[in-house]
Amino acid sequence: METNSHREEVLHTDQIVAESPKTLCVDIGGSGIKVMVLDAAGTPVTERARRETPQPAQPQSCVEVICDLAKEQGEYDRVSVGFPGVVDEGITHTAPNLHPDWEGFELAKRLEELLGKPVRVANDADVQGFGVITSHGVELVLTLGTGLGSALFVNGHLVPNLELGHHPFRKGETYEEQVGRAALDAVGKKKWNRRIKIMIELLQKILNYRTLYIGGGNAKKVDREGLPENVKIVSNEAGLTGGIALWRD
């Protein structure tokens, strides 16, 4: 016969299975470092917390901010980090909007030492992409923030570390120079939006994506009027929630 206490125990075990392992997701940006804990299903279980990115944004000072933020997030079992540059096997290779000291920095290893949990690191746009794609056909993700992030997926499979931002775009400038934060500040929203439209038209012709997702802190400044139907503006929170995908093997 099932007693009350047995029923309670079963309920309790189910809850633990649903909630664990918990993932501390970190998004390192050029202006802010954000964190949040997700349960096993990828549902946020803490409020998003944010600190300014230290200036200069050297590895040691950024790692300290991550550790401070992590302390306030309670319990978690593993860590996912979105990094604004090229990353391979936990080692950062470029960080155009942070600091040259990130070249060859063992970010995953350093955080594992400090936080005592397993850590996986991926490019920030790649993480954002995992949070929004539907895994059908070719999907492109662009993030508009301090820099221009890009991620390309084919039926849900990532082409890692696509660095569109630093390719020539127009008028002798790269995509990032034309539509990054500095450009938005310099030329204003109207002209910046014209550039966004030109960029979208060009990338559609080159990559023939089924869907383009635009995220990042400045996505909300994109003029939605006249955007093609296959272009979707997505929440910047996916830069954190996509982190759960780094643990899918």
Binding site for ligand BGC (CB under 6 A): 84-86, 94, 96-97, 123-125, 143, 145, 147-149, 163, 165-166, 176
Q: How far apart are CA 151 and CA 158, in angstroms?
A: 7
Peptide bond between residue 54 and the one before it cis (omega within 30 degrees of 0): no
| Tokens linked to 128 | 């954002």
Q: Which is nearer to ligand BGC, 31 or 46 (CB)?
A: 31
Minimal distance in Å, beta carbon 41 to ligand BGC? 27
Least gap, CB of 85 to ligand BGC (angstroms):
5
Residue whose tokens read 């929440």: 235
Listed in sequence order, the DSSP H helices in the chain are 4-19, 59-71, 107-115, 124-130, 175-179, 181-207, 238-241
Q: Measured from the CB of residue 244, what is the shortest distance to ligand BGC in angstroms?
A: 19
Q: Which is nearer to ligand BGC, 22 or 246 (CB)?
A: 246
Nearest C-alpha neighbor of 112 from the set 70, 83, 74? 70
Which one, 73 or 149, has the nearer CB to ligand BGC?
149
Cis peptide before 44 (omega within 30 of 0): no
Which residue of the chain is nearest ligand BGC when measured via CB?
Answer: 147
Q: How far is the CB of 199 from ligand BGC (least distance, A)?
A: 14
Q: How far is the CB of 83 from ligand BGC (least distance, A)?
A: 8
Least distance between ligand BGC and beta carbon 248 (Å): 21
The gap from C-alpha 168 to its chain's centroid, in whole angstroms, comes to 23
Q: Which one, 76 or 177, has the nearer CB to ligand BGC?
A: 177
Closest approach, Cβ 218 to ligand BGC, in A, equals 11
Query: Please, which residue, 97 or 211, has the CB nearer to ligand BGC?
Result: 97
List, in sequence order, the alpha helices (H) in 25-180.
Answer: 59-71, 107-115, 124-130, 175-179
Q: How many CA atoms lie within 13 A of 41 on its CB side?
A: 7
Residue 143 or 178 with smaller CB distance to ligand BGC: 143
**Whether the bond into 59 is cis, omega within 30 of 0:** no
Comparing CB distances to ligand BGC, the nearer of 53 and 73 is 53
Beta-carbon-side half-sphere exposure of residue 119 (alpha carbons within 13 Å): 25
Q: Are 161 and 234 in contact (CB under 8 A)?
A: no
